[in-house]
Amino acid sequence: MQLCKRFSVIGIAAIFICLSAGLYYLIATLFSGIPVLNYHQINNEAHNVLTLSSYEFDAQMAYLHKQGYTAISPDQLADYLQYGKELPSNPILITFDDGYEDNYRVAYPILQKYNLTATIFLITDFVNNNKRYLNWNQIREMQANGFTFESHTLSHIFLTNASDNDVRSQLTKLREALEWRLKQKIEYLAYPGGAYDQRVITIAKQTGYRAAFTIDFGRDTINCGLFTLNRIPIFSGTHTFLHFWLRLKFTPVLNALQRFKDKMHELGATMIASKIIIP
């Protein structure tokens, strides 16, 4: 009887250890990788899927500040992914695509308020030429205060639809313009519309880029490809703080759900797919 009790205790302990290890692995998986947030417009006038209000953006940045997140640059992210260089505690990369003027007028003061910086991927044909987009004076001021500026091509064409020569021109001429204007090396690309393929990746490498960002939903880990870097889009049309928090904290789970939903659509199981809600 005593022997049976002893084995029962050992068995319960073993089960507890296994469950604890499984839970630890699950938590470690959920919170592993570096989050890269992807924004576009921040203002109170436009009401579309690419735009957050100043109030929503302020609440999100306040949360990051309160939770001790440290804004990093693309260089820091690439150095970590490529060479394992140490990052500051609780790192996060904040990015904006296109370079709208409200990034300066609205987002910039909010980010400064919370001691955060960001990277803005510019469409250089629009800079100084369209009042909806940034001008060089605004860009230089932000650059002097720790913001970085990288490539979103000359004119925001979908690179997968362009010829080899056009892709090279879009990537090379932008680099030349930005490096001349900002006196910094341009090594990072955000694919317009998130459109990329192996041909585009090859040309990006050939034209001197170090890494490129997609709009694929996920975090970035040591074993991920430098030219298929994930981001967390914050422009899905339902901009509440809860959606932001869920996307930030449970990225791998939501990514898996999205993949399952896409698979159900692919298989024709539209009823099942319609029941899967992705924040």
pLDDT tens figures, 256-278: 666 676 768 778 877 786 766 66
Q: What is the mean pLDDT of residues 126-145?
A: 97
pLDDT of residue 83: 94
pLDDT of residue 54: 94
Considering the chain, what is the average pLDDT of its residues? 87
> Does residue 6 or residue 121 have the better pLDDT?
121
pLDDT of residue 142: 98
pLDDT in tens, 62-87: 999 999 999 999 999 999 999 999 99
pLDDT of residue 27: 43
End-to-end CA distance of the chain: 54
pLDDT of residue 25: 36
Q: Which of 93, 159, 97, 95 is nearest to 122 (CA)?
A: 97
pLDDT of residue 189: 98
pLDDT of residue 17: 41
* Distance (Å, whole) CA 37 – CA 48: 18
pLDDT of residue 16: 43
Q: Does 18 score more than 50 pLDDT?
A: no
CA distances from 188 to 35, 45, 90, 153, 223 (A): 17, 30, 22, 11, 18
Conformation bin of residue 167: beta by default, left when phi > 0, alpha when psi is -120 to 50: alpha
> Does residue 266 or residue 172 have the better pLDDT?
172
Any residues with CB less than 8 A from the CB of 258 and at least 6 apart, and which?
Answer: 217, 278
Per the CB < 8 A criterion, the answer to whether 192 and 162 are in contact is no
pLDDT of residue 8: 56
pTM of the model as a whole: 0.85
pLDDT of residue 32: 76
Q: What is the mean pLDDT of residues 47-69?
A: 95
